[in-house]
Structure 1
Amino acid sequence: MGTESESAMNQTAHAAEREGASVPSFEVDTRTAEQKAIDEWLPITSSRNAKWWYSAFHNVTAIVGAGVLSLPSAMSHLGWGPGVVILVLSWVITLYTLWQMVEMHEMVPGKRFDRYHELGQHAFGEKLGLWIVVPQQLICEVGVDIAYMVTGGKSLQKVHDLLCNNCKPIKTSYFIMIFASVHFFLAHLPNFNSITGISLAAAVMSLSYSTIAWAASVHKGVQPDVQYGHNGSTSANTVFGFFNALGDVAFAYAGHNVVLEIQATIPSSPEKPSKGPMWRGVLIAYIIVAFCYFPVALIGYWTFGNQVADNILISLEKPTWLIVAANLFVVVHVIGSYQLFAMPVFDMIETVMVKKWRFKPSRILRFTVRNLYVAFTMFVAITFPFFGALLGFFGGFAFAPTTYYLPCIIWLAIYKPRKFSLSWIINWICIILGILLMVVSPIGALRQIIVNAKTYGFYQ
């Protein structure tokens, strides 16, 4: 009887495939007891009871970074026309590629691609898929965590300096250590669902400091003698500034590096696949992202023109209490973002330790691995407190592929849409734009590093 029903299910699946319908996910669990125990211990696969709104605020926390405060500065290098076009285009393209990843999570009946590299392995093969995806994903996730260490420390330093004008200056390094101390505790939360509360707080904070930035700009009004010309004293400065700003806008979307891992926490069945609630959460998140990004970028630029500072809060200066509050909101937000980007890294390290090197899944292993990771990111952040400037260069090789065009290449490799069909054209447009971005943004970032190198100091 069981065999007959299995055969009937297979026939239904094949018929649906032939007709181009979506194939239901009849999951047959072939794992051993040991594999099940390991999957129940690993951070990504241990909990699958997330709700759709978990996806919404996880995605807001992942996408909206403190970099939103530098968008008015990016606009000053791009100008009104190109700036608005690039802002909108980035939002549309990244939403499209995010939709592709959500759709591909369960495209094989009975299987879920819980991790970005698993999707890459399905498209490009076991070894090649790992080599294509893992290095880029790690550059993004570890790089963002180091940058958030620096951001968190510097935001705490700003709060201290604003509230205590006459106090003795304290090194940035000490504030980075204070920020890192929180993560030596939070890093031991086992999985994505356990950091839901932190992620929600971070999402609320990102919306709050973005609102403060644009609302305070509106209150301040357009500044006297404001100019909207390109912010560059020479044509070379203008061109390279444009390239660098292109990278600033493009890298404001980093959520793709954790989207499959977030979707893995949502329950799924043939009747209710995970892509439904996940996509609803992503759409809500992207609407919130638009409410954060567009007003800050456009109103900040409208208020200060090409004299706007790299961080709009610096241009605003007063009232002091409001700027202090905004910086504290940034600290809370990057605490949540750090944990969100660290979780897939923890999963990768713990998977290798347990599956490849045959370590026993235990609290001691988890305690050691995660403390070492936090210590490593803290050490790099203290050594290079200008890491945010370097991230534009290193991230150029990884952010653009994982966000803008790798999902499109995987989609073309697996679904093979007809040449010159709408799907084929859209994906190729995204690929070409993504590759251009990958080439020009590191050039702009590298020149920026060379120009500012004399101001960089180790262990500041």
Structure 2
Amino acid sequence: MGSLGTEPPNAFNSDPHNQTIEGKSEREKTIENWLPINSQRNAKWWYSSFHNVTAMVGAGVLGLPFSMADLGWGPGLTILFLSWIITLYTLWQMVEMHEMVPGKRFDRYHELGQHAFGEKLGLYIVVPQQLVVEVGVNIVYMVTGGASLRKFHDTVCPSCKNIKLTFFIMIFASAQFVLSHLPDFNSISGVSLVAAAMSFCYSTISWTASAHKGIQKDVHYGSKATTTSGSVFNFFNALGSIAFAYAGHNVVLEIQATIPSTPEKPSKGPMWRGVVVAYIVVALCYFPVAIIGYWVFGNEVKDNILISLEKPAWLIAMANFFVVLHVIGSYQIYAMPVFDMIESFLVKKLNFKPSTILRFLVRNLYVAFTMFIAITFPFFGGLLGFFGGFAFAPTTYFLPCIMWLVIYKPKRFSLSWWTNWICILLGVCIMILAPIGALRSIILEAKTYKFYS
């Protein structure tokens, strides 16, 4: 493998990203220092906490009572708890694998994929899925940000003129046009801290306001659908929505890349501490919202719990405003790796000069693209399930397990071998079933939908 940090490891010498600093030319060092993921490595362990909370506790938490209504008490609680355990385990695997080769760091998900599956195949497996997740989340957050702004406006001023969702999405996007020019992960840590605090606040408001409201009259906990096929499809869609709620894995290596590391003090120590704190916060947000929201409203709960809560108006308005502030930060956490990929491609493969103008154009075009798609297809519930199953399940539930089996080769039928295979099987089930249910949900909504209304 080469001694620690002195000569580049044999694997992928052609990729300057995977070489140690000593083996790099001046141009490669300049590019490394310019790219957003690893331009600074001075983050503290608590940065990883609020980055992970911001990445994970997103719009998905507000849809959890709706998912519970589709799943029912038994399956709902089981899947919610199993997802928490499995995704914590796979997150631990990724933190461990970040520096498994001495003298080298896998700063990006696809670099780890390349180490596990080979240079070309690793890119083909990881990059499309990671892009679908990150771009998908950014589109859904555009819709969520716009919808929550509209709900805030309508709650504060019920007698005001009705304004189209399109305009609220544009207002939300205007904040992203400004914030997307923060250069790297460390520079968005303030935005991320505010977002993490907001996610805890609106989750708490959601379940406390529901508990205060009390169980509704004629509450039912059976399936919403009137037909068996409807119940089955809704069940599939709910699986994807829960997968969407645990999506932090797509940015975890990029977050860990910002933490300093030495052979004596590797980055996995502080990173894991941050992840554990983040997962405790996730549990405190997810479980009360899912359980109390479903308990109060039953199968009449809306796909966003805050829409089900009408009063007290000032509290619901505040919660919706907190959602807007949170998704502003969350959008940036998911956009940063996309900026890194596009900017890497332009400066490394197409030989563009690393410059402020290049960054300005790339990032503005990206924000404009996500805004346009969000305005065109604002199907919130269906989008969650579709993206959740299609790409989140692989990158979150089973891709880390496959990499672990390939790289560490645990003994057959050992505890590690069984654990990884069980996670893989459950993840594959979600990946296949969730998009089927979600696509049906999107088709049903699209029947009555008018474009740009």
Tell me if both proteins adopt one fold, taking TM over 0.5 as the criterion. yes
Cα distance in structure 2, aligned partners of 1:70 and 1:28: 45
The letter of the residue matching 2:294 is Y
Q: Which residue of 1 aligns with 2:128?
A: 135
Q: Which residue of 2 aligns with 1:420?
A: 413
2:303 match: secondary structure: coil
1:325-355, Cα deviation, whole Å (9 max, x unpaired): 0000000000000000000000000001111
Among 32, 38, 41, the residue aligned to 1:39: 32
Q: Which residue of 2 aligns with 1:405?
A: 398
Unpaired stretches in structure 2, ≥5 consecutive residues: 7-18
Q: Which residue of 2 aligns with 1:101?
A: 94
Within the alignment, does 1:336 sit opposite 2:339 as a pair? no
Alignment coverage as a number of residue pairs: 440
Within the alignment, does 1:233 sit opposite 2:233 as a pair? no
Q: Which residue of 2 aligns with 1:305?
A: 298
CA contact (8 A) 1:147 1:388 kept: no
2:353 match: secondary structure: coil
Within the alignment, does 1:380 sit opposite 2:373 as a pair? yes
Among 80, 85, 101, the residue aligned to 1:87: 80
What does residue range 166-185 of structure 1 map to in structure 2 within 5 Å? 166-185=159-178
1:398 match: secondary structure: helix
Cα distance in structure 2, aligned partners of 1:85 and 1:388: 21
- CA drift at 1:387: 5.6
Measured at CA, do residues 391 and 73 of structure 1 come closer, stay the same or move farther in structure 2, by a change above 3 Å? closer
Measured at CA, do residues 106 and 234 of structure 1 come closer, stay the same or move farther in structure 2, by a change above 3 Å? same
Identity %: 73
- CA drift at 1:388: 5.3
Within the alignment, does 1:198 sit opposite 2:191 as a pair? yes
CA contact (8 A) 2:5 2:102 kept: no
Cα distance in structure 2, aligned partners of 1:99 and 1:275: 9
2:22 match: secondary structure: coil
Among 291, 315, 320, the residue aligned to 2:313: 320
2:245 match: secondary structure: coil
- CA drift at 1:28: 6.4
1:214-239, Cα deviation, whole Å (9 max, x unpaired): 00111111122222222221211111
- CA drift at 1:244: 1.0
CA contact (8 A) 1:381 1:387 kept: no
Q: Which residue of 1 aligns with 2:204?
A: 211
Q: Which residue of 2 aligns with 1:368?
A: 361
Q: Which residue of 2 aligns with 1:264?
A: 257
Q: Which residue of 1 aligns with 2:450?
A: 457
Cα distance in structure 1, aligned partners of 2:38 and 2:315: 41
1:243-288, Cα deviation, whole Å (9 max, x unpaired): 1111111221110000000000000000100000000000000000
Unpaired stretches in structure 1, ≥5 consecutive residues: 1-5, 11-25
Structure of higher CA gyration radius: 1
CA contact (8 A) 1:93 1:404 kept: yes
Cα distance in structure 2, aligned partners of 1:336 and 1:35: 30
Q: Which residue of 2 aligns with 1:448?
A: 441
Mean alpha-carbon deviation: is it higher for 32-41 or for 194-203? 32-41
What CA RMSD, in Å, does the superposition of the two structures yield over aligned residues? 1.6
Within the alignment, does 1:50 sit opposite 2:43 as a pair? yes
The letter of the residue matching 2:213 is K
The letter of the residue matching 2:147 is K
1:111 match: secondary structure: coil
Q: Which residue of 2 aligns with 1:285?
A: 278
Q: Which residue of 2 aligns with 1:188?
A: 181
Among 60, 65, 68, the residue aligned to 1:72: 65
The letter of the residue matching 1:230 is S
Q: Which residue of 1 aligns with 2:9?
A: none
CA contact (8 A) 2:210 2:309 kept: yes
- CA drift at 1:99: 0.3
Q: Which residue of 1 aligns with 2:16?
A: none
TM-score (norm 1): 0.93
Cα distance in structure 1, aligned partners of 2:443 and 2:171: 30
1:98 match: secondary structure: helix
CA contact (8 A) 2:145 2:328 kept: yes
Measured at CA, do residues 42 and 7 of structure 1 come closer, stay the same or move farther in structure 2, by a change above 3 Å? closer
- CA drift at 1:76: 1.1
1:118-145, Cα deviation, whole Å (9 max, x unpaired): 0000111111100100000000000110
Cα distance in structure 1, aligned partners of 2:174 and 2:281: 30
Mean alpha-carbon deviation: is it higher for 109-118 or for 310-319? 310-319
Measured at CA, do residues 32 and 9 of structure 1 come closer, stay the same or move farther in structure 2, by a change above 3 Å? closer
CA contact (8 A) 2:37 2:107 kept: yes
Q: Which residue of 2 aligns with 1:23?
A: none
1:54 match: secondary structure: helix
CA contact (8 A) 2:303 2:381 kept: no
Within the alignment, does 1:149 sit opposite 2:142 as a pair? yes
TM-score (norm 2): 0.94
1:366-406, Cα deviation, whole Å (9 max, x unpaired): 11111111111111111222265234224422111000000
Cα distance in structure 2, aligned partners of 1:150 and 1:224: 32
- CA drift at 1:66: 1.6
CA contact (8 A) 2:237 2:386 kept: no
Measured at CA, do residues 28 and 361 of structure 1 come closer, stay the same or move farther in structure 2, by a change above 3 Å? closer
What does residue range 340-359 of structure 1 map to in structure 2 within 5 Å? 340-359=333-352
1:423-443, Cα deviation, whole Å (9 max, x unpaired): 000000000000011111011
1:186-208, Cα deviation, whole Å (9 max, x unpaired): 00100000000000000000000
